[in-house]
Structure formats: C-alpha cells, structure tokens
Amino acid sequence: MTLFIEQCMNGLQFGLLLFMLAAGLTLVFGIMDLVNLAHGSLYMIGAYFAATFAAWTGSFVLGALLALVATLLVGMAVEVIAMRRLYGRDHLDHVLATFGLILFFDELVRLIWGAGGMSLPLPSWLNSPVRILPGVDYSAYKLSIIVVSLAVAAFLYVLVMRTRIGMLIRAGASNREMIGALGVNIKLLFTLVFGLGAALAGLAGLMQAPILTVQIGMGENILILAFVITVIGGIGSIRGAFIAAILVGLIDTLGRAYFTDLLRLFFAKETAATAAPALSSMLIYLLMATVLVIRPEGLFPASSK
C-alpha cells in the first residue's frame, strides 16, 4: 500500500511535469496555430542552463532562476528570428522548420557542452525524504516539483482567465485578425506567449534534470508525450492539457509499475515479464488513439476558430 501511494505520487509528479511542457505547447498552438517540435529543445536547454548556472553560482535555486530567465530569452529570440515567419503557413511547414531547429539545437548543445551530458546535484535540504502520511515517506524534491507545478498551473489559470493579458491571449486564440484590427500589438503578444511557453518548457527541464541526467536528445522523447497530452486534452485547451497530463502521468507510471503483475494473472511468467515493458510504453499511445477515434477533437476542445 505504501508503495502504491508512492507510485501514485510519482505518477502525479510526472504528470504535472508533463503539464508544464504541454501547457506551453498548447498555448502556442492555440494562439499562433503553430506546431512547435522544437519545444523539446527548449526543455533540454533549460536543463543545460540550470546545470551550468548552478555550478557557477554554487546555488541550486539561483541557478534555476537564472536558467529560467535565460530560457525565456532564448525562446523569445527563436520566436523573433524564426517562428514569426511561420505563422499562417501550412502545418507541414511548421513540422519541417521546427524539425530543423531540433537538429540545430541538439548540435549546438553538443558543440558547447560536449556529448557527455551533465548532472545537476541537489542541495541537501531537498535531497531527504519527508513524511507525507503516517508511515509514508516521499522524496522532498519530487514533492517540491509537485508544489511548484501546481503553483504554475494556478498562475497560468489566473494569468489566462483573470488578467488583461490573459484576455488578449484568449481573444487571440479565437480570432487573431480581429484583435489585431482592434489595435492590440499582436507581434509583441505572440513573442511573449512563445517566451512564456519556452520558460515553462525550461522549468520542466531544469526540474527534471536532478532526477535524470542532462543529455542531448532528452527533449525528444518527452516532447512526443507532451504532444500526446495536448491532443488528448484538445489542442489549445490548458484545462484539457492539465487533466490529460495527470491522466498520462498516472497511467504511464502505474502501467510501468504494475503491468507485469497484471499480465501475470493471464499469461505465463516469462511472457508477462517480456511483454509488459513494451505494452506499458504503448498504453498512453493506445489511450490517445482511443480518444481520437471517439472524440477526434480531444477531450476538451478549445473554442472553435
């Protein structure tokens, strides 16, 4: 039972982390109608920045803050230099151009930081378990990821639903031309939104960095998961992304933890042991395919264009 609670917490933590990636993706897609494969590169860059800055400053928190700002700036630069020219183009053009960006960023990181990968050590106060329930200990760091992610989700909710900028973002999502005609500086708004998405991706990257190694291509696997989430949740919907992310995080984590046991009920031990890892990796794709077949627009379609 203790293990089960811990696995659920892991799933929740992973889901919330995915939410931060998916939120940026779905914002950019909903508002700029842009498919950004290079989102995973920003996640990777956030992690590399954090590892570098933390080593420089000697402080995890300071390093993380600097990395966040740096990723925001990189994101805005990418928008101004490249993305801006892609709005209104075909989705296939987006896929290709941003695929080119992935190659560029992967190679750039290899050039700057080398192919070896890095690690981001945790400060001792985050590296100890805390007691969350009587008799259940949980990693303080993973717990802090959950707290930060929930705070980010709340911040996004307030930003999008309760502020003037959020109003413009929502207006932009439903009719770009019209809010431009009403005198809103669309270019600036888009740059800001893209930067926000990049910062969220960077935050996800730097928070994941102490758990996994920081390495080239780390963004590519998780990017696909983030896409799956945006599609399940309904492209452009932050609420959908939130629910889908938690769903995917839980299914993926619990699937990996318990699928072998589940299969053992039906099949021979060896069959279960070999088939389970592959099948549990497939679970979320299966979920996505099912959702798309039943509700082709996702679970919570954003307001129609």
Partner 1 sequence: MTRALDLRTVVGIALLVALILLPIYVEATGSRFLLTLFTRIVILAIAAVSLNLILGYGGMMSFGHAAYLGIGGYAVGILSFEGVSSGFVQWPVALVVSALFALVIGALSLRTRGVYFIMITLAFAQMTYYIVAGLARYGGDDGLTLQKRSQFVAPVNLSNKIQFYYICLALLCASLYLVWRIVNSRFGLAVQGARSNDTRMRAIGFPTYRYKLICFVIAGTLCGLAGALIANHTDFVSPAMMYWTRSGDLIIMVVLGGMGSLFGPLFGTVALLVLEEALSGITEYWQIILGPLLLLIVLFARGGIDGLLGKVRHG
Query: What does the binding site for partner 1 look like in residue numbers (CB under 8 A)?
Result: 29, 35, 37, 82, 85-86, 89, 91-93, 95-97, 99-108, 110-111, 220, 224, 227-228, 231, 235, 274-275, 277-279, 281-282, 285-286, 288-289, 292-293, 296-298
Q: How far is the CB of 132 from partner 1 (least distance, A)?
A: 33
Residue 64 or 232 with smaller CB distance to partner 1: 232
**Closer of 187 and 295 to partner 1 (Cβ):** 295
Q: Is residue 262 packed enough to be buried (19+ CB in 10 Å), middle (13-18) or exposed (0-12)? A: middle
**By CB neighbour count within 10 A (0-12 exposed, 13-18 middle, 19+ buried), where does 103 fall?**
exposed
Give the orientation angle of helix 218-233 with respect to helix 39-57, to 10 degrees. Answer: 130
Q: How far is the CB of 99 from partner 1 (least distance, A)?
A: 5
73 vs 95 by CB, closer to partner 1: 95
Identify which of residues 90 and 137 has a Cβ nearer to partner 1 in the complex: 90
- In angstroms, what is the minimal distance from the CB of 213 to partner 1? 18
**Minimum distance from residue 172 beta carbon to partner 1 (Å):** 18
- Nearer CB in complex with partner 1: 108/257: 108
Inter-residue contact 76 to 197 (CB < 8 Å)? no
Distance CA 79, CA 86 (A): 10
One-letter identity of residue 294: I
56 to each of 46, 66, 91, 170, how far by Cα in Å? 15, 11, 40, 39
Asked if 236 and 169 touch (Cβ cutoff 8 Å), the reply is no
Residue 59 or 290: the one with the smaller Cβ distance to partner 1 is 290
Four-CA torsion 233, 236, 239, 242, nearest 10 degrees: 60
Q: 3-state DSSP call for residue 133? A: strand
Task: Output the smallest distance, CB 270 to partner 1, in A.
Answer: 9
